[in-house]
Amino acid sequence: MIQNNNQSNEKENNILTVTKISLLNFGSYENGTIECNNNLIIIHGQENGSGKSTFAEAISRIFTSNYIMNIKDEDKIRHGSLKFQIIIEGIYNGKKIQIVCEKGKTYKIQILHDSKTYNGKEAEEFLSNIITYDEFLRLTYITGKDIDILIQGTPEIRGKVLDRILGIQSLLLLIDNLKTKSYSDTLALLEEQLKQKRNEKKLISNIITNIININDLKNELEQKKLQYKTISDELIQLKDKYDQLLLKKNEYEKIIQEKNNIETKIIQLQSRYQQISSEKEQKTKEYEIIITELQNILKSNTISDDLIRITLSNHNNTLEHINSVLTSIQSDEYSSAIILLQKEIIHKNNNICNVCNSSIDESKKKYIIENIQNISSNKIKKITVLKKKRIILMEEIKKIETLNQNRINISSLLSKYDTQLTNIQNDITVQNNKLNTIIYNWNEKEFESLKIEKGIKENLLTELQYQIYNLENKIKQNEIYTEQNDIFSILENEINIIEKNKKLCDYKLSKIQKYKNGLKNILVNIRNKILEEINPLIQQWINALLNFTPTNSNIPPPLSYELVVTEKITEKMYNIRYEDKVKRNGIPISFYNLSTGQRAICALSLIFALKEISSSYLDLLIFDELSTSGIDDQKLNKILEIIVKLSTKIKILFLERRKDIITYLKKIAEKYNIPYTHYNVNMINNISHISMDLT
C-alpha cells in the first residue's frame, strides 16, 4: 500500500493480512476453504445464491460482529446443523494469527496471536481496533452499485455516496436528530392544544353573545309544548280514522280483486264458448259434406237413418241373391251332366248313347258338342256379369258404411258440443250473477285527503319537537351563563400560557437549529481537512495506476484529480456539494467528460486514499458483483484492468457470477504476470462446494 511516511510506517506494522478462510456449516457450506496467499483471489459462482458472497459475510461477521445484510446468526447456521464455525488465519504485526468464531446455542470467539489467547469481549475489542463495521462497509466491501454511482452518478447521488464513504453521513444523521424531535413533537402538541382552546373560546364567546331573556324562552317553550300536545291528540284521532279507512281500503281491494277474477273467468268462458262454437261449425260443414255424398250414392234428396238402413238392407239382399245365383250356377247338376257327357262323347269309341242306346253319328255328335259349348259359354258370361255386379255392390256397401259411421261420429261430437256450450253458457250466467251481487262502498278522495292531513300533522310534530329541543338547549345555555363566563376567563389564561410555551419552544428550536448549523459548519471543516489529507494520496494512487512517475514539475500528469467542497448553510437550508477538479495533461476538464476508465481510476483512488488514512488495519478489498453495476462491458473491462493492477498494492477478493468477466480478469493478470488464485463455487443438493480452478 502507498503510505504517508511517519504515520503510515506505524500502520504498516499493524496491518492484518488474511491468508486462509474456512467455513463449517456456515450459510450453505458444509465445509469450504479458500487459500489467500496470492493478492488476487477470484471466486466464481454462476448461480445467484451459490455461496460466493458467503465468504464476504463471514469476514464481516468475524471482524465487525455484524453481517453485510441485516440477518441473524441463527439464519446462517446451515439447515440441519446445530452450529457454524468461521476460521480466519493470517499475519498480524509480522506474526501468525488465528481467529475462530462459533455460533450454536451461544456465540463464542477466540483469537490466538503471539502466544496469547483472547476470548469473548476481549477478542471483540481486539478486532475492533483492526476495523469497524462502518469502515468495512465504506472502505472494504465495494459493490457494483457503488462503483456505478461514483463513476456515472449525478452530482447529488454521488454527494450522498461520498458522504457515506467519508464517514460524514452518520454524523449528519446524529446532528439532524439532535434533540429536535422532542421539541418538534412538543411544538406540534402545543399548536394542537392552542387550536382546540381557541375553538372552545370562540364557541363560548358565541354563546355569551347570543344570550336571550330566560323567561321569554320558557314561555315560548310552554306554548310549543301545548301546541305539540294539541296536535298529538288530533293526530291520534286522525290515525284511528285512518286505520279504519285503511281496513276498508283493504276490503275494497279484495272485492275489486274478486271482481277482476270473475270478469277474467267470464272472458275465459266466453273465449272457450267461441272456440267450441267454431269447432262445431267446422264439424257441421263436415257433416253436410258426408250427407251430400250419401245423397249422391242413394240418389235421394232426404237422408235419414231409416233410408240408410233400408238401402243397406236392399244392397245386402241383392248381394246375397247374386252369391246364391253364382253358387247355383256353379253347382248346377245339369251343368255337371253336360260336362260329363261332353267328356264321354269326346272319348267314346263306339257311337252308342248310354241312355237310349241309339246310335250317334258324327253330325249328331258335333251338334251335341256345339250345344254343350254354347250352354257353357252363356253360363260363364252370366257368372262374370254377376261377379262384377257383386264387386260394385260390395264397394258401395263399404262406402255407405264408412260415410254413415263418420256421420254418426260427427253427429255424436255435435251433440257433445251442444252440451258443452250449454254448460259454458250456464257458467257465464252463474258468474254474471255473482258479479251482480258484489257491492262495495269506497271513497278514495276521502282516504287520500285524510292521508295528506295526517302527513302534515306528523311533519308539524317533528318540527315542533325540533323547536322544543332547541329551546331547551338555549335555556340550558342561559342557565350556565355564569359558568361560561368563568370558563371563558380560564380559557384566556390557558391560551396565554400555551402561547408563551410555544414561543419558548420556538426559541429553543431556533437555538438548536443554530447549534446544528454550527456543527454542520464544523463538518464542512472536517470534510475539508479530510480532503486536504486525501487529495495528495488520490493523486499518488492515480499516478501509480497510470504508471506515471513525476520527474519534472513542469510536466503535468496525464490525469490530475482533487475533490473540494462547496457549501451553503442558512437557518433553513443546508446544502453541501462536492466538486471534482480535474485536469487532463494540465488542461481543466469536466469529470463527466473523462473516459469511463479515467473516472474509475479517480473513484477507486479516492477509496484507496481514504482506506490509507482510516483506522482500518485490514489489508483487504472485496469487490462483489461488479457486473450488476449497470456499466457496459467495454467500460467494465477498463475497471477490471485497474483492479488487477491494484492487487499489486493490496489483497483483493473478487466475487463474480459472469464467466466472461472472470476470464477477462485472468487474462489481464496473466498479461501483467500478476499471480492469482481462482475458485469455482457450485451448489449441489443445496450444499455449496468450492474448489480451486487449475485451468
DSSP 567-583: EEE-SS-EEEEEEEEEE
Check residues 523 and 141 and name the one with the higher pLDDT.
Answer: 141
Sheet holding 16-24, edge to edge: 31-35, 16-24, 84-92, 95-103, 107-113, 116-119
Judgement on whether residues 297 and 436 belong to the same structural domain of the protein: yes
Domain boundary among 414, 444, 474: 444
For range 167-180, the mean pLDDT: 56
Judgement on whether residues 85 and 196 belong to the same structural domain of the protein: no
For 533, the grid coordinates are 489529507
**Among 279-288, 310-319, 343-352, the range of highest mean pLDDT:** 279-288
Indicate whether 147 belongs to any domain: no
Indicate whether 470 belongs to any domain: no
Residues 6+ apart with CB under 8 A from 46: 657, 659
Query: Where does the pLDDT of residue 6 fall: very low under 50, low under 70, confident under 90, or very high at 90 and above?
Result: very low
Indicate whether 469 belongs to any domain: no
Indicate whether 555 belongs to any domain: no
Judgement on whether residues 347 and 492 belong to the same structural domain of the protein: no
Window from 78-87, 153-162, 549-558, 627-636 with minimum mean pLDDT: 153-162
- For the cut 60, the answer to whether the pLDDT of residue 79 exceeds it is yes
Q: Which residues pair with 423 in a beta bridge?
A: none
Query: Where does the pLDDT of residue 630 fall: very low under 50, low under 70, confident under 90, or very high at 90 and above?
Result: low
Q: Write down the mean pLDDT value for the chain.
A: 77
State the DSSP H helix or E strand holding residue 366, giving kind and residue range, or none if neither.
Answer: helix 362-437
Check residues 615 and 76 and name the one with the higher pLDDT.
Answer: 76
Indicate whether 148 belongs to any domain: no
For range 33-37, the mean pLDDT: 94
Query: Where does the pLDDT of residue 1 fall: very low under 50, low under 70, confident under 90, or very high at 90 and above?
Result: very low
Window from 148-162, 284-298, 393-407 with minimum mean pLDDT: 148-162
**Among 127-131, 165-169, 258-262, the range of highest mean pLDDT:** 127-131
pLDDT at 5: 45
Cβ distance 504 to 190 under 8 Å?
no
* In 299-353, alpha helices (H): 305-330, 333-347
pLDDT at 433: 76
pLDDT at 4: 43
Domain boundary among 427, 444, 461: 444
- For the cut 80, the answer to whether the pLDDT of residue 662 exceeds it is yes
CA distances from 472 to 211, 214, 465 (A): 13, 10, 11
Q: pLDDT tens across 495-526, in order?
A: 777 777 777 767 666 666 665 666 666 666 77
Q: pLDDT tens across 376-402, in order?
A: 677 677 777 777 877 777 777 787 777
Whether the model clears a pTM of 0.75, i.e. scores above it, the answer is no
pLDDT at 322: 64
Per DSSP, the three-state class of 632 is coil
Judgement on whether residues 371 and 279 belong to the same structural domain of the protein: yes
- For the cut 90, the answer to whether the pLDDT of residue 445 exceeds it is no
Angle formed by the axes of helices 633-646 and 659-671, to 10°? Answer: 50
The CATH number of the domain holding residue 20 is 3.40.50.300
pLDDT at 88: 95
pLDDT at 505: 67
Q: pLDDT tens across 327-367, in order?
A: 666 555 445 555 555 555 555 555 665 555 666 666 666 66
Judgement on whether residues 235 and 383 belong to the same structural domain of the protein: yes
Portion of the chain with pLDDT greater than 70, in percent: 70
Judgement on whether residues 326 and 369 belong to the same structural domain of the protein: yes
Tell which residue, 433, 414, 411, 410, has the closest CA to residue 422: 414
pLDDT at 171: 57
Indicate whether 113 belongs to any domain: yes
Backbone phi, psi, residue 53, to 5°: -80, -5
State the DSSP H helix or E strand holding residue 692, giving kind and residue range, or none if neither.
Answer: strand 687-692
Residues 53 and 180: their CA atoms lie apart, in Å, by: 40
Tell which residue, 509, 535, 613, 522, has the closest CA to residue 576: 522
pLDDT at 264: 83
- For the cut 50, the answer to whether the pLDDT of residue 7 exceeds it is no
Task: Provide the Cα torsion 540, 541, 542, 545; round to 10°.
Answer: 130
Q: pLDDT tens across 573-621, in order?
A: 456 677 888 888 889 998 888 887 788 888 888 878 877 777 667 888 8
Window from 323-327, 559-563, 671-675 with minimum mean pLDDT: 323-327
Instruction: Name the residue range of residue 96's domain.
Output: 1-132+615-695
Q: Which residues pair with 500 in a beta bridge?
A: none
- For the cut 90, the answer to whether the pLDDT of residue 473 exceeds it is no
For range 451-468, the mean pLDDT: 82
Indicate whether 138 belongs to any domain: no
Judgement on whether residues 361 and 435 belong to the same structural domain of the protein: yes
Indicate whether 574 belongs to any domain: no
Cα angle at 355 between 350 and 360, to 5 degrees? 40
Domain boundary among 444, 471, 499: 444
Residues 596 and 545: their CA atoms lie apart, in Å, by: 14
Judgement on whether residues 116 and 234 belong to the same structural domain of the protein: no
Judgement on whether residues 128 and 200 belong to the same structural domain of the protein: no
Check residues 8 and 246 and name the one with the higher pLDDT.
Answer: 246
Tell me the one-letter amino acid at 320. Answer: E
**How crowded is the C-beta side of 460, counted as CA atoms within 13 Å?**
17
- For the cut 60, the answer to whether the pLDDT of residue 252 exceeds it is yes
Q: How many domains, in total, are found in the chain?
A: 3
Judgement on whether residues 433 and 289 belong to the same structural domain of the protein: yes
Query: Where does the pLDDT of residue 626 fall: very low under 50, low under 70, confident under 90, or very high at 90 and above?
Result: confident
Check residues 382 and 676 and name the one with the higher pLDDT.
Answer: 676
- For the cut 90, the answer to whether the pLDDT of residue 691 exceeds it is yes
Tell me the one-letter amino acid at 152. Answer: Q
Judgement on whether residues 303 and 438 belong to the same structural domain of the protein: yes
Residue by residue, DSSP assigns 498-551 as HHHHHHHHHHHHHHHHHHHHHHHHHHHHHHHHHHHHHHHHHHHHHHHHTT----
pLDDT at 566: 73
Judgement on whether residues 359 and 377 belong to the same structural domain of the protein: yes
Cβ distance 649 to 543 under 8 Å?
no
Per DSSP, the three-state class of 562 is strand
